[in-house]
Amino acid sequence: MASRRILVIEDDAAIRQGIVDALSFHGFVTLEAGDGNAGLEAARTSACDLVLLDLILPGKQGLDILKEIRLERPALPVIILTAKGEEQDRITGLRLGADDYVVKPFSIKELMARIEAVLRRSPERPSDVTRMEIKGAVIDLGRCELRFEDGTRSELSEREGELLGYLVRNRGRAVSREEILMRVWRIEPRGVDSRTIDMHVARLREKLRDDAGEPQIILTVRGKGYMFA
């Protein structure tokens, strides 16, 4: 089972290091960013399970990062880190979709309790998308099948259904093979041959009648991964 990955976006190096050390001690894998621009890029592209987000950052500000995360990765849990005097920002953050907030200075015990509570509430943050129509077909994730206008059907294996569902929930965003291994296969990606993902994508394209030479449904994003268009 892969360890949960937490992205820490905090510009104060001492605070960031303290958080990273505590997370590592409690068994989490950590990613970190010291400014808003790097933090947003990491939130967009990394295979993380939760973001700890400071609101006052150099570059892009925390609330702007939160807006972008909710647009591009609506299922990604976010806990905002705020100072005591930032009550209005906390309220705004919660209204923008933050899952929780922690007020500085905070104890490590409190931070860990809030992280664990958010992850318990949303271990996968599943979307309610179980059925959608695409050109010439209906994707029914609840039944793990595809139904076509000509009346034919194609069944999906459990893993194919999970993979297609994850791509659908993240449609419009390139999902890396690393993220797929962690979130769909639920294994640590280091040292794992990712060709099995390519084979599953190839089978999905075939079942979706998506031209492998010029796919229109599951796109290959060079250097990044796959995207449900």
pLDDT of residue 8: 98
The highest-level CATH class for domain 131-228 is mainly alpha
* Domain map (residue ranges) of the chain: 5-121, 131-228
Radius of gyration of the chain (CA): 19
Q: Assess whether the region 5-121 and the region 131-228 belong to the same CATH fold.
A: no
What pLDDT score was predicted for residue 129? 63
CATH fold group of domain 5-121:
Rossmann fold (3.40.50)
pLDDT of residue 123: 47
Q: For residue 220, what are the contacts with CB-CB under 8 A and spacing of at least 6?
A: 226
Backbone angles phi, psi at 212, to 5 degrees: -65, -30
SS3 17: helix
Tens digit of each residue's pLDDT, the chain (229 residues):
457 899 999 999 999 999 999 999 999 999 999 999 999 999 988 888 899 999 999 999 999 999 999 888 877 899 999 886 777 887 888 888 898 999 988 999 999 999 998 888 764 454 556 788 888 889 998 888 999 999 999 999 989 998 998 888 888 888 888 888 887 887 777 777 778 899 999 999 999 999 989 999 999 998 889 999 8
Q: Burial code of 39-62, b = ≥16 C-beta within 10 A, e = fewer? A: bbebbebbbbbbbbbbbbbeebeb
Question: Is residue 3 within 8 Å of 188, Cβ to Cβ?
Answer: yes
Please give the pLDDT value at position 135.
80
pTM, two decimal places: 0.64
